Amino acid sequence: MEDIDYEFHKRIPINCNFNKKSIKKSKRTSFDNNNFQIEFTCGIDDKILCDNNIVAGGANPTRTIALIDNNGIEKYYPQALVKQLSFERYPEFGPFDISAKFNSEVNYWFEGNKLPIKSDQTDFILIVLHEFIHGLGFISSWNDFFNFANPKD
């Protein structure tokens, strides 16, 4: 099989419904005044591996932006999250917020398929949403990266 490597770009409007009474007015203003959309750049690849295992996809923020908090401490935030804040003058944003790749070799099940999902299939929407969360800067891992054996011992 020939190598597959596609890239596509999509504007995805993200609309959030929330109980305005449960959010403090100062925080609510950020949501009310926000007119930015989260921008994706996506690719399809047949060679996505992690530790020599085939994975369904991967995503990350394309850019982080430094903001200084009230204590003068500089902290970095993914661009997609910075877009959700309210500023008098916005920082300059890059063209895309999230970069994602999806593995063309995975047996996906797609929404709208009249056949039920099979045990050897993966729900594509589940993977997209999972990767979207990584693209917002949230990371989780079951690996123990902090208590590994020291290779020099």
Number of domains in the chain: 1
pLDDT digits (tens, 9 = 90+) for 32-62: 555 577 887 877 777 766 656 678 888 999 9
Evaluate whether residue 60 is within a structural domain. yes
Evaluate whether residue 82 is within a structural domain. yes
> In which domain, by residue range, is 102 found?
5-135
pLDDT digits (tens, 9 = 90+) for 112-138: 899 999 999 999 999 988 999 999 988
Evaluate whether residue 101 is within a structural domain. yes
Evaluate whether residue 23 is within a structural domain. yes
Global pTM?
A: 0.66
Evaluate whether residue 152 is within a structural domain. no
Evaluate whether residue 17 is within a structural domain. yes
Evaluate whether residue 113 is within a structural domain. yes
Strands 64-68 vs 74-78: parallel, antiparallel or unpaired: antiparallel
Burial class of 38 by CB neighbour count within 10 A (0 to 12, 13 to 18, 19+): buried
Kind and range of the H or E element at 25? helix 25-33
Evaluate whether residue 149 is within a structural domain. no
